[in-house]
Chain A
């Protein structure tokens, strides 16, 4: 499966011009941040404790949220792709709800279900004394809620595109359905899973509305980078720019490394 030979000649202008415009549209705001950055005081601002706290919390929660999405989302994607059941279209539409829901509304919805007085949260609090709002676990839940559709859609697409005959071959070799999933299906769609996980992680890292609504904002516990950026913007726009740049740099490094490793030309 080597890449196909490219067509000779230049790419057509009809594609090139909007492509460049699109790239500029995406990149110019970043350049805006870089131009306005207070480079001279960058160093001293960075070592302020809260920046590193927020960064560490963001990386940890985004990673945990991605893990949660993988554990729940991959089986969900498999079910959507492979199991025929009535109402599958509706379920597929429901999965994308967090994409269209304003994150703040998502946060309120989570409070209504998993909050101290929520449908499930009330029971969890009463029975086990577990509450999610104002905790790091709450941040993970909020991020996972918003980010999971990215994983599910990506993995479902990969599963649909996968060649089912490999699974048939595995079945004739004596593999049961779980073995087939674990040893054949999953490795075959690994690039799709990786791409989905990366999207999911990136979305979780940038999550703001659902997080602050569901988990609140407390430094070191629930204050992630986007929350810190938002609050910094209230009083100290320069600090907000520094925080944004730090977050940008870290995510670009992580995403580039992961992309090459997992989604590169395998």
Chain B
């Protein structure tokens, strides 16, 4: 995929809890998001790329050069840290000029380059401020400018938006997307927020317990989750089963769901919570995919109400309107009938 340029890495890192073993590529200009639950090894992978943790095996090639034998300061990699880690004793301008200075630029040249970068990320007016005086969003932009100012072949971003409040996050995410689009090298972004990954990345790599579990475009990952973790992140009900003649047998045969996809063999079946209909009594003209469930929890989600349904035959999530909650007199523990149309389910190979 990236024989000529970009990132081509296989990261093997031994940890106390688990071993990380991850093949990772990113073409020049491509933004890859590493998505995974806490402790999955995302940050470890990023630190291994930067040379901050020793690797037990594998390689890190950027634009064809193997960086693995090199210490962090010789890798030419830009990194934006989770809490930005702007040097508190240096001004904003000096923070951004730090990298160029270390690369041998003269004092004035480094400051000029830094000023240009601050201009580009839009906070030139804070050049002489101390990092302490910046808001979270401003600090994030300085951190980005500082990482880009070393003209890196590979840009690493560790949870770049996690430290921001919801309002700032929207604004900064849009700005970050613009800057990433303008970056010519490969970029790897670590996040646990699927929305950040969807918006910022060209490709999403999902890791759990140190292993790759899914790799695809944001649209692909969103539509076709392959693990419960991803399904939960993208808000889909996900089941694994065997498809035969339009009928998917879930689990060990305890339940079946009809679908309109003509696949055979091991498959995933997914459907959105909003496509689940709930009934107090068994509905007439019964839809095909109908099952009896118990209300496990009722949660408010914006203007929708999320109803968690417990099996048997299987657990599911349904989104309904507050009006229907009242109408159905839903309460935790009450029995309910649930249905989903075959046309609303999505089946894809496992």
Contact = CB atoms under 8 A, between A and B. Distances in A.
Contacts of A38: none
Most buried by B among A166, A174, A176, A183: A174
A190 B87 CA distance: 13
Contact of A174 (B85, B88, B103): B103
Contact of A175 (B76, B90, B102, B147): B102
Contacts of B146: 173
B293 interface: no
Interface string B88-99: 111000000011
Contacts of A48: none
Interface in A158-198: 163, 165-166, 168-176, 179, 183-184, 187-188, 190
B132 A1 contact: yes
B29 interface: no
Contact of A172 (B79, B87, B88, B132): B79
B109 interface: no
B52 interface: yes
Nearest to B77: A172
A230 to B, nearest CB: 43
B81 interface: yes
A95 B99 CA distance: 37
B100 to A, nearest CB: 9
Contacts of B77: 172
A180 B221 CA distance: 41
Contact of B85 (A1, A165, A175): A165
A172 B50 contact: yes
A179 B77 CA distance: 18
A171 B52 contact: yes
B136 interface: no
B89 A188 contact: yes
A122 B88 CA distance: 49
B88 A188 contact: yes
Contacts of B99: 173-174
Interface in B255-310: none
Contacts of B132: 1
Nearest to A176: B73
B207 interface: no
A174 to B, nearest CB: 4
Nearest to A168: B52
Nearest to B72: A171
Interface string B238-255: 000000000000000000
A169 B85 contact: yes
B153 interface: no
A187 B94 CA distance: 14
Contacts of B71: 171
B222 interface: no
Nearest to B82: A165
B278 to A, nearest CB: 49
B102 A190 contact: no
B88 A175 contact: no
Nearest to A175: B102
A172 B50 CA distance: 7
B150 interface: yes
Contacts of A174: 73-74, 76, 99, 102-103, 150
Contacts of A184: 87
A172 B132 CA distance: 21
Given A172-B72, A172-B77, A179 B85 contact: no
B87 A170 contact: yes
A169 B82 CA distance: 11
B102 A179 contact: yes
Contact of A169 (B76, B79, B89, B103): B79
Nearest to A177: B73
B289 to A, nearest CB: 51
B88 A173 contact: no
B81 A169 contact: yes
Most buried by B among A169, A175, A184, A190: A169
Contacts of A188: 87-89
A168 to B, nearest CB: 5
A39 to B, nearest CB: 47
B73 A187 contact: no
B78 interface: yes
A39 B140 CA distance: 63
Interface in B220-250: none
B73 A172 contact: yes
B198 to A, nearest CB: 27
Contacts of B73: 171-176
A166 B87 contact: yes
Nearest to B96: A173
B79 A190 contact: no
Contacts of B156: 172
B84 to A, nearest CB: 9
Nearest to A2: B132
Contacts of A168: 50, 52, 72, 81, 85
23 contacts: A165-B81, A166-B85, A166-B87, A168-B50, A168-B81, A168-B85, A169-B85, A170-B87, A171-B51, A171-B71, A171-B72, A171-B73, A172-B52, A172-B73, A172-B77, A173-B102, A173-B146, A174-B73, A176-B102, A179-B102, A187-B89, A187-B90, A188-B88
Interface of A: 1, 163, 165-166, 168-176, 179, 183-184, 187-188, 190
The 8 closest A-B pairs by CB, nearest first: A174-B102, A173-B99, A171-B72, A187-B89, A169-B85, A172-B79, A175-B102, A171-B73
Given A175-B98, A175-B102, 5 more contacts: A1-B132, A168-B72, A172-B52, A174-B103, A176-B102
